[in-house]
A and B are shown apart, each in its own frame.
Chain A
């Protein structure tokens, strides 16, 4: 069988990016939460805030470590697998990515060192400042990377001359048409992720009656914040959708499973898109609603996939279903945020069992929603690498062979699988130890005679007895925090 370097490179990039993306969406929100805790601790002198901050900083460090190393891979992959694209787009992407390094990465890295190791070495005010700088770094980083990514969806401010993009307006290129929506949508998604993880973990601690005072405070902050941002995300998403309809109509057509350009298009709740026959099976929809949402008129005209040749259409099924997963989870998030408000009188939110159990499960949903959204936008761009201007095939490295691409694809999958399962395991360990005297519990473990890992003496509840070694069995995600 002939190995196709194009397909393999696309799989490789999709894998690396998807894997990488789940870390920043968590750390951006968490960094802001930690900065808030540090500020509250500094202002009120109440040690509970510092206790919370110290704990969440440990979680942050593990996740940030994985995010950093997987991110380094991406900055080199443009060159290894997509060198034609790199060369063509360097005039714009080069400066933008460099600005990201200069204004964000250095800031994060330097002040993270102080945040993690400097509590006894710098004054409290400087420590708080370091937490703020780390948070600021993650937000600046989001700004640049989403500018670069949005430009690939809605290229602006450039001319394509002799196969190379020449920048004609930096302002238009950086603040390209889809950038503001994408930046807001992704930024809020990060806050949702951070909030739901913190809320879920706090709920789990409350269920077990651990560090009740601190975790009630943490949960309360998260629920107020979620009440604000979960509904806001729906509104931002709607505006983003309108923007996409304007600039990438075929992506929206795929999201809606809409084949024919027509009026009074129904909003499909369920359907099985059939790209071969250019139709849907088993449609269940609400008449006219898609037209209403997309054009804000009942009989607004919505373009269908038929407007372009079949080979210019994105893979409809993936886009269609990913979109439904994202929206469905978003609605669920809003429901939980509202439930938090209704349960607030008398502090029922930290006593209601079903609510806490539900929050615990909800902590994984933002990751799924973000990945689903990512699939919608990136796969929906196909077959374009730079929308309307450069295809995936044109961007590929000329000298790349299928076997090389396959070799590194397998390599990255193995490396990431190993690192991720270990990271998840240590994350669980940090969470299990919790806010209490972690020094002591750590000590207890180290004093044990070291032996090759066997599951037998793993003290964690989430390690359901005797399933192989301790390293590779913890892929259950946060839902397996308690058995």
Chain B
């Protein structure tokens, strides 16, 4: 009983952590991706100040994902990270450059443009690396006896490049709709303008991935085209949310585009999860194979039950503190 349910609970928790990370760091990475295209330097100041108070907390979900994976599914951790060795390096290097840019940019004068590039380049590289990880994950890993035995560049395929582009566009879309919500005037106008083209780009990549994935993998094909018709509700939801983004931008609504984009991400993410369930290291290991000792899963779970609501509480509170439009000249610098 315990053996059966604990890994399931943990799969849910890790899954929750991943989507929390994607949604939260997604929009601040998106702001970085859009950075070079902003109307002017003052807009860039505002863009950065919309995320400056919260980006660090957003990124902490990634660290929780890493540590939680090690705690609950060490097999996944110890296969995925060596398999994605170079991708992980690029991701981390990207996060370093964009992370320090938050502090350095406002302290720089003549070299400010360098930190603009550091923020934009770092965000873009991190988003591409994460997108490539998604593709590599769908394609699966070469393993033997619980260790990765493939080559260091196995993860770099045309398919993973496509998913990388998809996530890049997706994060940019999240960033654009976040800016619609958090800014006004010229910058908001610009964010409205780029949202629909970004949405189109995302949908185009999704369409190609949806057609491609079943051919890449037999298991995925079976999952989607067997008698499990109920899962088609997920792509239907995705399309519905896409339409909602389109409509709400047309109607100049300020909050709904961001919420609908989050909905689009969640339904797509769930689509990805059901394609692979219950394999956590495709194609060989299920979440039960990969689980750590039940005592370890239980030990962490007990603390998590108490601490996670508190974290969600004060995180929500900080978003409340920094609610409303961000205007020029705000921030502590």
**A interface residues (Cβ-Cβ under 8 A, vs B):** 58, 61-62, 65-66, 68-73, 75-76, 78-80, 83-84, 86-87, 90-95, 97-103, 105-114, 116-119, 121-122, 164, 166-167, 170, 397-401, 404, 407-408, 411-412, 415, 419, 422-423, 426, 429-430, 442, 445-446, 448, 450-453, 470-471
With most chain B CB atoms within 10 A of its CB, the pick from A83, A93, A116, A408 is: A83
Pick from B80, B97, B293, B308: contact of A166, CB below 8 A.
B293
Contact A79 B77 (CB under 8 A): yes
Of chain B, the residue at the smallest CB distance from A116 is: B332
A61: which B residues are within 8 A, CB to CB? 103
Any chain A CB within 8 A of the CB of B34? Answer: no
Choose, from B175-183, B257-265, B297-305, the stretch at the interface.
B297-305
Contact A86 B78 (CB under 8 A): yes
Contact A79 B70 (CB under 8 A): yes
Any chain A CB within 8 A of the CB of B322? Answer: yes
* CB proximity of A10 to chain B, nearest CB, Å: 17
Pick from B104, B110, B293: contact of A423, CB below 8 A.
B104
Contact A69 B100 (CB under 8 A): yes
- Give chain A's interface secondary structure class: helix
* CB proximity of A397 to chain B, nearest CB, Å: 5
Pick from A170, A400, A453: contact of B82, CB below 8 A.
A400
Contact A109 B70 (CB under 8 A): no
With most chain B CB atoms within 10 A of its CB, the pick from A69, A73, A92, A105 is: A69
A75: which B residues are within 8 A, CB to CB? 63, 66-67
25 inter-chain pairs at a CB distance below 8 angstroms, sorted by A residue, are A72-B62, A78-B81, A79-B81, A80-B88, A83-B147, A90-B70, A90-B77, A91-B293, A94-B67, A100-B67, A102-B307, A108-B56, A109-B59, A113-B53, A113-B322, A114-B53, A114-B318, A166-B293, A167-B296, A398-B149, A400-B82, A401-B152, A408-B86, A419-B100, A452-B110
Chain B positions 66 through 80: 1 when the CB is less than 8 Å from some CB of chain A, otherwise 0: 111011101101111
Pick from B82, B304, B332: contact of A80, CB below 8 A.
B82
A398: which B residues are within 8 A, CB to CB? 82, 147-149
Contact A470 B60 (CB under 8 A): no
Contact B321 A122 (CB under 8 A): yes
Contact A419 B53 (CB under 8 A): no
Chain B positions 134 through 165: 1 when the CB is less than 8 Å from some CB of chain A, otherwise 0: 00000000000011111010000000000000
B152: which A residues are within 8 A, CB to CB? 399, 401, 404
- Give chain B's interface secondary structure class: helix
Contact A399 B148 (CB under 8 A): yes
Contact B71 A446 (CB under 8 A): no
What's the Cα separation between A398 and B88 when bound, in Å?
A: 17
A471: which B residues are within 8 A, CB to CB? 111
B53: which A residues are within 8 A, CB to CB? 113-114, 116-118
B103: which A residues are within 8 A, CB to CB? 61-62, 65, 426
Contact A86 B57 (CB under 8 A): no
Contact A109 B295 (CB under 8 A): no
What's the Cα separation between A72 and B98 when bound, in Å?
A: 13
* CB proximity of A126 to chain B, nearest CB, Å: 9
Contact B71 A97 (CB under 8 A): yes
Of chain A, the residue at the smallest CB distance from B331 is: A117
B82: which A residues are within 8 A, CB to CB? 79-80, 83, 397-400
B299: which A residues are within 8 A, CB to CB? 95, 167, 170
Besides A94-B70, A399-B149, A471-B111, 6 new A-B residue pairs in contact (Cβ under 8 A), listed by A number: A69-B100, A87-B78, A91-B295, A102-B303, A106-B315, A398-B82
